[in-house]
Amino acid sequence: MPELPEVDALATDLGQRLHGRAITRVDIVAISALKTFDPPIYALHGMFVDGVGRHGKFLDLDLSGTHLILHLSRGGWVRWRDEVPTLPPKPGKGPLAARVVLDDGSGLDITEAGTRKGLAMYVVRDPQDVPGIARLGPDPLGDGFTESSLQEILTASGRSQIKGVLRDQSVIAGIGNAYSDEILHAAKMSPFKPASSLTPADVATLYQAMHEILGDAIARSRGLGASDLKGEKKAGMRVHGRAGQTCPICGDTVREVAFADSALQYCPTCQTGGKPLADRRLSRLLK
């Protein structure tokens, strides 16, 4: 799933490609992906692209004041095409969910792979009309997000585990399963640590790790097209998605434990004093 750095890079890349272009039409193939009906999709036809932005993990195409908002979720992606077919796509079993056709014959394919359909598209007059955007917490790289903002968030989160707090979009916007693993690894912190138990020194470390990990990922992703972003994200990971492999910092074996609806990866030596975390998924099965 694309997170803050990838969506940021997509917004930059698409912003350059779409700047000054007008939309000829938008073909919706997967009707269920379009979550709004007013304004209708054809309200975008003939509109100029003023800019492409980001809210958390949402991509925002500003079309002369009307917005096409995309949430790529787990399997969604966008693919730039220098030339799109002239005939509208037919609904079928392929991954194509929608196609944006531009006035110079180029365009954008919005695709979704897999069976867990989560891709969402919205046509709105104001991005805040999208419930997921209205609910978003502050952006961790935003100017106003200081160490004391993080401290306040953690105090307010009480005994919630820090891993869950970091990826809760209504608390902090843009961080998902992958970068929360990476941030906690960089901060040498257990993912199960209660949020309110962090000392001021811990908060400073976590704040720094957040900026370092997201900043590095953004720097690596900038200038890459959509097709190269997924590979870059994966290649930059130290623990996430690397269970059984070696921690590049200390040489211990990266481990995995169940968390919420999926799993998290961490390094015992770097993060939990060398002790593996108990996998509650396993202990539930044994009871």
Which positions lie near Zn ion, rule CB under 5 A? Answer: 247, 249-250, 252, 267, 269-270
Least distance from Zn ion to the Cβ atom of residue 118, Å? 32
Q: 66 with 179: CB under 8 angstroms?
A: no
Q: Which C-beta is closer to Zn ion: that of 59 or that of 267?
A: 267
Q: Which C-beta is closer to Zn ion: that of 63 or that of 186?
A: 186
Q: Which C-beta is closer to Zn ion: that of 24 or that of 205?
A: 205
Q: Which C-beta is closer to Zn ion: that of 134 or that of 250?
A: 250
Nearest residue relative to Zn ion (C-beta): 247
Nearest CA-CA partner of 85 in 173, 25, 3: 25
Instruction: Spell 151-182 as b/e; 16+ CB within 10 A means b.
Output: bebbeebeeebbbbbbbbbebbbbbbbbbbbb
Least distance from Zn ion to the Cβ atom of residue 189, Å? 12
Least distance from Zn ion to the Cβ atom of residue 177, Å? 19
Nearest CA-CA partner of 68 in 113, 95, 30, 98: 98
Q: CA separation (Å) from 65 to 25, 94, 102, 284?
A: 17, 32, 17, 51
Q: 215 with 174: CB under 8 angstroms?
A: no
Pinpoint the alpha helices (H) of 88-225: 131-134, 147-156, 162-166, 177-186, 200-221
Q: Which two tokens stand for residue 237?
A: 């990971």
Least distance from Zn ion to the Cβ atom of residue 53, Å? 36
Least distance from Zn ion to the Cβ atom of residue 216, Å? 17
Q: Which C-beta is closer to Zn ion: that of 56 or that of 268?
A: 268
Q: 250 — phi, psi (to 5°)? A: -120, -10
Q: 161 with 193: CB under 8 angstroms?
A: yes
| Identity of the residue numbered 82 | D
Least distance from Zn ion to the Cβ atom of residue 212, Å? 16
Least distance from Zn ion to the Cβ atom of residue 188, Å? 8
Least distance from Zn ion to the Cβ atom of residue 241, Å? 15
Q: Which C-beta is closer to Zn ion: that of 252 or that of 279?
A: 252
Nearest CA-CA partner of 256 in 162, 185, 201, 193: 185
Q: How far apart, in whole angstroms, are the C-alpha atoms of residue 215 and residue 261?
A: 27
Q: How far apart, in whole angstroms, are the C-alpha atoms of residue 67 and residue 27?
A: 16
Q: How far apart, in whole angstroms, are the C-alpha atoms of residue 83 and residue 213?
A: 36
Q: Which C-beta is closer to Zn ion: that of 52 or that of 247?
A: 247
Q: How far apart, in whole angstroms, are the C-alpha atoms of residue 139 and residue 202?
A: 20
Q: Which C-beta is closer to Zn ion: that of 129 or that of 252?
A: 252
